[in-house]
Amino acid sequence: MSTAHFFTDKAFANNRSLIAAICCAAVCGIVFGLSMPLISLRLEEMTGSGLMVGLNGAAAALSTLVIAPLVPRLMALLAPRRLLVLSLVGAAGLFTLLPVFPVVLMWFLLRFLIGCFMTVIFVISESWINQIVSPDRRALMLGVYGTALSGGFGIGGLLFSALHGAGDTAFYLGAFIFLAGTLPILFLEGPQATAPDAESTSLPSLIKTAMIAPSAILAGLAFGATETLLYSMLPVYGKNIGLEHTMIGLMVLAVALGAIVFQLPIGWVADRTSRRLTLLWIAVIATFASVLAGFAGNNTLLLLPILFVQSGVVSGLYTVGLSLLGERFTGGAIATANATFIFAYGVGSLVGPPTAGLAMDAVGPWGLLAVLAGITGAYVIVVSLRTVFGGAKS
């Protein structure tokens, strides 16, 4: 098959759209991995305040809560492909303003607005994949999407390391990467994401979605909390148990690698068994991993493999949860369900860190592990009850 044939043949239309959607994940992952340390360190230099750095990160999480419920309505007003392109261009433009206006309040506003655009990109691209893939490989392809996102995050971190000390170059590179993400959307022609009808964009519809598919929606909340804790609080945990800086870096690397390696096999298993039961086993393993990590202490030969497995299985909460939504909803309703899922993710990412922080202040390093185990343990109970009583699908 010639390259030209792939770009023109209607038989490959779905594949072209799938590639475009996955490219959105890679682009956002790269900029996310580049911008998190970049913005945090610049803010710390500007203010000398760790609190300001944390609050700025909260602004990004808040943007998810504000904009996610509105995305289905935006999709009904504007063609999803056009909305994706506008969001990527908008995020690029705002990213270039960060070095131009090194003012704390301006950075809060810019971080919030960039987060809004990125939330639009996530909701549309994930809904797009759920709508166009065949049911028998839905979890696997969402696993590819998740792998692209996690891999992009790692690439962004490497770019940050390479450009550290290169002035404002990293900001302009981030903007360029956003703009590059528009190319697959513009030139890989295929079916668009289907927008929901007007009735499905209302707040009651979002609440109804959560009630119909609690196992899937709560997977988003559990993942938002655990992912944020593993990336933001784990370095503090490592320091508190006496690990050196190099070992703390290896902990973060183990977490990142787990998220990359596990998503495809978990998606493959979920497609061939039961997606809801896969979510249940993910949560069970993650709960035990939190406890085992505590008993491993500062023995990195034990701790690093445990963190690798824990982050790897936890990553499945996101992609298998999304695939379960695709199983329960069809057409435009998937966009509404996906917006509800992303909103739940935002709640988890916003509430998780302060909860773990309070727990660590109260009982020391074990506080983080207790919160991690509590989140996934509670999810085990919810899914188990849904399985035993009523035989719900999600």
User: DSSP letters along 25-65, please?
Assistant: HHHHHHHHHHHHHHHHHHHHHHH--HHHHHHHHHHHHHHHH
pLDDT, residue 120, reads 95
What's the confidence (pLDDT) of residue 390?
A: 54
Does residue 289 contact residue 262 with C-beta atoms inside 8 Å? no
**2 found inside a domain:** no
- Does the pLDDT of residue 84 top 60, yes or no? yes
User: Which of 194, 211, 232 delimits the end of a domain?
Assistant: 194
In a shared domain, residues 261 and 329: yes
State mean pLDDT over 18-42. 87
Alpha-carbon dihedral of residues 109, 110, 114, 115, nearest 10 degrees? -40
User: pLDDT band at 393, cuts 50/70/90?
Assistant: low
pLDDT band with cut points at 50, 70 and 90 for residue 72: confident
For residue 3, being part of any structural domain is answered with no
Q: Which amino acid is at 247?
A: M
Question: pLDDT band at 326, cuts 50/70/90?
Answer: confident
The yes-or-no verdict on residue 392 having pLDDT over 70 is no
- Give whole-number Cα distances, 174 to 22, 92, 299, in Å: 18, 7, 38
The sign of the CA dihedral 31, 34, 40, 41 is: negative
Q: Are 88 and 140 in contact (CB under 8 A)?
A: no
Question: What phi and psi, each to the nearest 5 degrees, are found at residue 123?
Answer: -60, -45
Per the domain annotation, does 5 fall within a domain? no
Task: Give the distance, in angstroms, between the CA of residue 318 and the centroid of all CA atoms in the same chain.
Answer: 7
Q: Are residues 179 and 201 part of one domain?
A: no
Residue 102 pLDDT > 70, yes or no? yes
Instruction: Using pLDDT thresholds of 50, 70 and 90, give the confidence band for residue 6.
Output: low
pLDDT digits (tens, 9 = 90+) for 341-385: 999 998 998 888 888 888 888 888 888 899 999 999 999 999 998
Where a domain ends, among 153, 173, 194?
A: 194
How would you class 135 by CB atoms within 10 Å of its CB: exposed for 0-12, middle for 13-18, buried for 19 or more? Answer: exposed
pTM as predicted:
0.86
